[in-house]
């Protein structure tokens, strides 16, 4: 993705609300400051967005999903898109932007972050997102 996706009224971010890293990340990313209205949706609550992601064959245990202007971004592409969209205010946002605005860095680091998430969920006794 070379351009920043444009904001539209039906933009949303589907994430794992039981994952402490995912929940904190969506709070700190400051997406609404630059992208406008974006609904933050806990994937564990289900709903039409959850079903739409499943219909696309995307695995929510492998990464969150951003839908922006009709386009879906999953996993490392989602983190990359969020970095492009986020306001560069505060230490976290600046660091996040520097790391994940690069597709190469996102491709290298995202699997490590995902493995850490999966290990943390196991240690906390939390189950994977059911996608049946």
Which of 129, 123, 121 shows the shortest CA–CA distance to 42?
129
User: At 83, is the pLDDT very low, low, confident or very high (cuts 50, 70, 90)?
Assistant: confident
- pTM score over 0.75: yes
What is the pairing mode between strands 71-74 and 65-68?
Answer: antiparallel
Predicted local distance difference test score (pLDDT) of residue 85? 83
Given a cut of 70, whether residue 34 has pLDDT beyond it is no
Q: What is the mean pLDDT of residues 77-104?
A: 83
List the domain boundaries for the chain.
12-123
Cβ–Cβ < 8 Å for 29, 64: no
What is the pairing mode between strands 39-42 and 65-68?
Answer: unpaired
Predicted local distance difference test score (pLDDT) of residue 96? 77
What is the pairing mode between strands 12-15 and 39-42?
Answer: parallel
């Amino acid at each position: 993705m070379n351009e920043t996706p444009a904001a539209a009224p039906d933009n949303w971010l589907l994430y794992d609300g039981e994952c402490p890293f995912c929940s904190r990340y969506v709070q700190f990313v400051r997406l609404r400051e630059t992208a406008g209205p974006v609904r933050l949706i806990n994937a564990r609550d289900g709903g039409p967005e959850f079903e739409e992601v499943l219909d696309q064959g995307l695995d929510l245990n492998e990464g969150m999903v951003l839908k922006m202007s009709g386009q879906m971004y999953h996993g490392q592409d989602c983190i990359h898109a969020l970095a492009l969209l986020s306001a560069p205010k505060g230490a976290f946002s600046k660091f996040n932007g520097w790391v994940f605005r690069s597709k190469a860095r996102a491709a290298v680091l995202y699997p490590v972050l995902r493995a850490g998430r999966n290990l943390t969920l196991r240690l906390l006794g939390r189950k994977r997102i059911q996608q049946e």
